[in-house]
């Protein structure tokens, strides 16, 4: 299974970069992270300006979406699932005709309705809001955990 994470913004803190790098390394060649440019929004920006930034970031994301991938968008209003259920879902994708999956993480202000419409599924990790940099680390950890559940290794216990 080829896994692509499309994420808006850079990991600005060294500790998030180190945490992300550790999980990417453990995944071997299975996982690719594509960082998309974050559009800067000035303090006190209007709702319209924020919407414009979301649209621009989201258009860039849609342009980089792998064509044949099963697309999972991370939205706080998505459906939550256990680590086991996520692992099972990924394992069953080939049976549903997908050999590739893409996970989408928006920037500070989220993703557009067009991105949402392009998703096969909306996934929520938590009803809590996390900074998108930490969210990326949490996603990478869950992908590594899903792989370890599928392979039956000890990590996830």
Q: Does 134 bind a copy of itself (CB under 8 A)?
A: yes
Q: Does 15 bind a copy of itself (CB under 8 A)?
A: yes
Q: Does 138 bind a copy of itself (CB under 8 A)?
A: yes
- Helices and strands per DSSP (H, E), number in the chain: 5, 5
Structural tokens at position 69: 């991938």
CA triplet 103, 65, 21: central angle to 5 degrees?
A: 45
Q: Where are the beta strands (DSSP E) in 80-120?
A: 100-105
Contacts of 139 by beta carbon, 8 Å cutoff, 6+ apart: 5, 74, 103, 105, 125
Q: Does 125 bind a copy of itself (CB under 8 A)?
A: yes
* Smallest separation, CB 134 to a copy of itself (Å): 6
How many CA atoms lie within 13 Å of 79's alpha carbon, on the beta-carbon side?
A: 9
Within 10 angstroms of residue 93's Cβ, the number of other Cβ atoms is 16
Interatomic CA distance for residues 84 and 152, integer angstroms: 11
Name which of 50 and 65 has its Cβ closer to a copy of itself.
50
Name which of 15 and 64 has its Cβ closer to a copy of itself.
15
Name which of 6 and 86 has its Cβ closer to a copy of itself.
86
* Smallest separation, CB 77 to a copy of itself (Å): 11
* Smallest separation, CB 7 to a copy of itself (Å): 17
Q: Which of residues 66-105 bind a copy of itself (CB under 8 A)?
A: 80-83, 86
Name which of 8 and 86 has its Cβ closer to a copy of itself.
86
Binding site for a copy of itself (CB under 8 A): 13-16, 18-19, 22, 43, 80-83, 86, 108, 125-131, 134, 137-138, 141-142, 145, 154, 156-157
């Amino acid at each position: 299974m080829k896994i692509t994470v499309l994420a808006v913004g850079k990991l600005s803190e060294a500790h998030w970069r180190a945490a992300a790098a550790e999980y990417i390394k453990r995944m071997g060649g299975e996982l690719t992270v594509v960082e998309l440019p974050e559009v800067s929004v000035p303090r006190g920006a209007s709702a319209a300006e924020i919407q414009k930034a979301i649209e621009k970031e989201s258009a860039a994301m849609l342009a980089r979406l792998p064509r044949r991938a099963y697309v999972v968008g991370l939205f706080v209003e998505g459906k939550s699932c256990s680590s086991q259920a996520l692992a099972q879902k990924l394992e069953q994708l080939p049976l549903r005709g997908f050999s590739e999956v893409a996970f989408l993480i928006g920037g500070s202000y989220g993703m557009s309705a067009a991105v949402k419409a392009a998703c096969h599924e909306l996934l929520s990790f938590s009803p809590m809001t996390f900074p998108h940099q930490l969210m990326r680390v949490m996603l990478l950890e869950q992908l590594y955990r899903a792989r370890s559940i599928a392979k039956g290794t000890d990590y996830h216990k």
